[in-house]
Amino acid sequence: MVQYYIGATPDIKIYYTNNERGFYMAEDILNRFKEDQLEAKEIDTGKKLRVGIIGTGWIAEAHVLSYKKMPDVEIVAGADLIPGKAEAFFERYGVPDALCFESHTEMLNSVELDAVSVCTYNSTHAECTIDALNKGVHVMLEKPMCVTLDEAVEIMRAEKKSGKVLSIGFQPRFDPNMKKIKEIVESGVLGKIYYIQTGGGRRRGIPTPYGTSFIEKDKGAIGALGDIGCYSLDMVLNAIGYPKPLTVSGYTSDFFGKRPDYYKNHPEYAEVFGVDDFAAAFVRLEGDIILDFRIAWAMNIDTPGDTIILGTEGGLRIPSTECWNGSVGGAMKIYHDVAGSQVETEIPIIESNIDLFDAKLRSFLDAIKEDGPSPVPSGQIIYNQAIIDGIAKSAAAGREIEIEIPEI
Ligand SMILES: NC(=O)c1ccc[n+]([C@@H]2O[C@H](COP(=O)([O-])OP(=O)(O)OC[C@H]3O[C@@H](n4cnc5c(N)ncnc54)[C@H](O)[C@@H]3O)[C@@H](O)[C@H]2O)c1
């Protein structure tokens, strides 16, 4: 199909179909736009923020490596339940002076801290976050926010009482392609949004490369639903302004995780598998919007489909990725009408060298120094958590349920 270029921003080229001419904005103008966007922020290193890390497992590595790059951060302590794990971790990442503890409460009671990263498995997110906030410490909390809606409410109450910054670790938010989805929706080009299909999945991708903390009920607590489902939900809910979820009809299953032959070298993992490896749901959102959701750590298909956002004036297709981790899988497309013709506008992938982890931690540190607001606020993510909780509850009850979020 031949397309016609009709306008541009630095990273979007808009085309008409069925017209043979095209022209591009002069390179130097595009470059000037880029320079404006890349303007660096100066970091005041006068006072170093004293940071601790709770849970020194897999994801803590990304946190420590990013914090080490921040000139206004001193990593002073860490805690892990497993004896010797925090010591070995800080030794490995070149922070040998960090004080190490076997419990987060001991660390919070013994060390003066400005902020902590909560990098524990899902089941201890709530207690570690609440204890830190109650101690007057700012919190960067890894995704998903927690396990249940009740826990999310308690976290928000502690946050409100403390007046400290709480940011939830959704680094895909800092991907310019994700930001573009929100900009497209906010531009009005899609009109009124009424239906969203989202989710993602892996043909085989139960996360056990570093052990079983994701799949054990008392550690991971929720499976694909919480682990990667939260990213799919954030991608679309953030784009449309996080409307309140009202009802949910959910389904979860565990057909792959419980099969010993799934794990080539560790058939015993099937014994400890206690979470979901697939979830699907039909969710009603405030504003008469339907959310059709599916997520899989493992399934007998390559993808459960692209994300689509349907509006009265246009539809947006966001290609899925093979190994769903919350990123845009290819050029997006807007399907709309122009002067009576059905046209497609391609939104090319925005190449960037932004380190998403650095951006996520930097935004948290800046919020602390600037007295808020939180870059990824609990006030939004509680709706993400309410849907996850609603899917689990509806699946257990075998029927649609209403989502009720108490006053915080
Ligand atoms: N943002 C991302 O890209 C990303 C990627 C992977 C994991 N995660 C999230 O990070 C979290 C941790 O995942 P992981 O893969 O690092 O798990 P992990 O099991 O490797 O590490 C978690 C560590 O926390 C420790 N721990 C648990 N409760 C504790 C407590 N109360 N006090 C001190 N230590 C405690 C455990 O002993 C363990 O060493 C999960 O919630 C996961 O969803 C995020």
Domains and CATH numbers, the chain: 3-37 (no CATH), 49-172+357-377 (3.40.50.720), 174-351+386-401 (3.30.360.10)
pLDDT score at 42? 81
Written as six digits, the tokens of 84 are 């010797």
pLDDT score at 38? 47
Q: Which helix (H) or strand (E) holds 175?
A: none
What number does the ligand 1 atom closest to the CA of 58 have? Answer: 16
pLDDT score at 102? 98
pLDDT score at 19? 33
Residues paired with residue 13 on neighbouring β-strands, in sequence order: 8
pTM check: above 0.95: no
pLDDT score at 224? 97
Please, are residues 113 and 51 in contact by the beta-carbon 8 Å criterion? yes
Residues paired with residue 310 on neighbouring β-strands, in sequence order: 195, 315
The whole-number mean pLDDT for each consecutive block of 10 residues of the chain, a chain of 408 residues, reads 30 34 45 52 87 98 98 98 98 98 98 98 98 98 98 98 98 96 98 96 93 97 97 97 98 98 96 98 98 96 93 96 80 97 97 95 98 97 98 98 96
Written as six digits, the tokens of 403 are 């989502």
What number does the ligand 1 atom closest to the CA of 128 have? Answer: 31
Going from the Cα of 54 to the center of ligand 1, the distance in angstroms, rounded, reads 8
Alpha-carbon distance values, 402 to 151, 161, 207, 244, 399 (Å): 18, 28, 31, 12, 10
Please, are residues 152 and 406 in contact by the beta-carbon 8 Å criterion? no
Pocket of ligand 1 (CB under 6 A): 54-60, 79-82, 85, 103-104, 119-122, 124, 128, 142-143, 169, 171, 210, 213, 227
Contacts of 91 (CB under 8 A, 6+ apart): none
pLDDT score at 33? 53
Going from the Cα of 58 to the center of ligand 1, the distance in angstroms, rounded, reads 7
Distance of CA 250 to the CA centre of its chain: 21
Alpha helices in 145-275 (DSSP H): 149-162, 176-187, 224-227, 229-239, 269-272
Nearest-angstrom CA–CA distance, 165 and 82 = 28
What number does the ligand 1 atom closest to the CA of 61 have? Answer: 16
Q: Report which protein residue has its CA nearest ligand 1's atom 8.
A: 59
DSSP 353-365: ---HHHHHHHHHH
Please, are residues 16 and 4 in contact by the beta-carbon 8 Å criterion? yes
Going from the Cα of 55 to the center of ligand 1, the distance in angstroms, rounded, reads 6
Going from the Cα of 219 to the center of ligand 1, the distance in angstroms, rounded, reads 9
What number does the ligand 1 atom closest to the CA of 210 have? Answer: 20
Alpha-carbon distance values, 352 to 162, 176, 361 (Å): 36, 8, 18
Nearest CA to 55 out of 134, 139, 164 is that of 139
Q: Which helix (H) or strand (E) holds 174?
A: none
pLDDT score at 326? 75
